[in-house]
Structure 1
Amino acid sequence: MNITIHYAFLPHDDPDAALGFYRDILGFEVRNDVGYGGMRWITVGPPDQPGTSIVLEPPAADTGVTDEERRVITEMMAKGSYARVALATTDLDATFARLEAGGAEIVQEPTDQPYGVRDCAVRDPSGNLIRINEVR
């Protein structure tokens, strides 16, 4: 069996700010940008990995979510506790410098973790936690 990760979903509350972070700071390419019903879905991904994408979606898009659940999701997003993703790079220091220069909210500077990973953490404009691991 050959299974790969095709899409992961992260909520956004400001599509233009999300584009500024994922496209302009991280260097992801925009693969799709679709508006419908006053909402916007943006698909981004690393240029050298056309089969792997992140879909930035409005948290209100799921019609099965109640207003109370949307409120809780919005609060969790603001705290950075609703969604997260781990990315990888071969040059963590350069990636961190680019994030810092781009104004990303820094959660943790590059650190050697006791479990053997060197990584850093930032939040995207919607509060999603982005951990970036250094791979060799």
Structure 2
Amino acid sequence: MDITIHYAFLPHSDPDASLAFWRDTLGFEVRNDVGYEGMRWITVGPPGQPTSIVLHPPAADPGVTDEERRVITEMMAKGTYGAVTLATKDLDGVFERIQASGAEVMQEPTDQPYGVRDCAFRDPSGNLIRINDVS
């Protein structure tokens, strides 16, 4: 089989803050920015790579109830709803740059007992962003 990851989806609570974090702090390129009925879907990705992350309004699905929207909003605020793991060859440099941006640090670069060295942040919407060292 020949299967690749094309898109991953993360919710956003503030499209402008999310855009600034993913584009300006992480250096991702904006591939699409679509508005519809007061909502925005922003597609970003690392330059030179085909994989993208779609930052989406979490309540856009018409099948989501008001109670589910409330729970999603609460989970996003606690940082327990969305997550993604990224990778870099310069974990310490990336950590310093993201920390300097004012992003919420969840974990400084750490050697994990399961064999990776990583750090963690939350984006402006509360999504957990783990970054693994692949040097």
Equivalent residue, structure 2, for 1:86? 85
TM-superposed CA distance for 1:60, in Å, is: 1.1
CA offsets per residue over residues 19-47 of structure 1, 9 Å max, x none? 11000000000000000011000000000
The match for 2:127 is 128
Root-mean-square deviation (Å):
0.5
The TM-score normalised by the length of structure 2 is: 0.99
Q: CA deviation at 1:87?
A: 0.3
CA shift for structure 1 position 16: 0.5
CA distances 1:63-121 after superposition (whole Å, capped 9, x unpaired) = 11001000000000000000100000000000001101111100000000011100000
The CA distance in 2 between the partners of 1:6 and 1:14, in whole Å, is 24
1:114 is matched with 113
Aligned partner letter, 1:34: V
Equivalent in the alignment of 1:69: 68
Shift of 1:133: 0.2
Counterpart of 1:2 in structure 2: which amino acid?
D
For 1:100, the equivalent position in structure 2 comes to 99
Give ranges in structure 2 of 5+ residues lacking alignment: none
* Map of 1:19 onto structure 2: 19
In structure 2, what residue type is equivalent to 1:13?
A: S
Q: Distance in 1 between matches of 2:13 and 2:79?
A: 13
Percent identity, aligned pairs only?
A: 80
The runs of at least 4 consecutive aligned structure 1 residues that moved more than 4 Å come to: none
2:45 is aligned to 45
Partner Cα separation in structure 2 for residue 48 and residue 36 of structure 1: 28
Normalised TM-score (structure 1): 0.98
**Equivalences, count:** 135
Task: Structure 1: give runs of 5+ residues left out of the alignment.
Answer: none
Task: Give the secondary structure class of the aligned counterpart of 1:10.
Answer: strand
Query: Which amino acid in the other structure matches residue 91 of structure 1?
Result: D
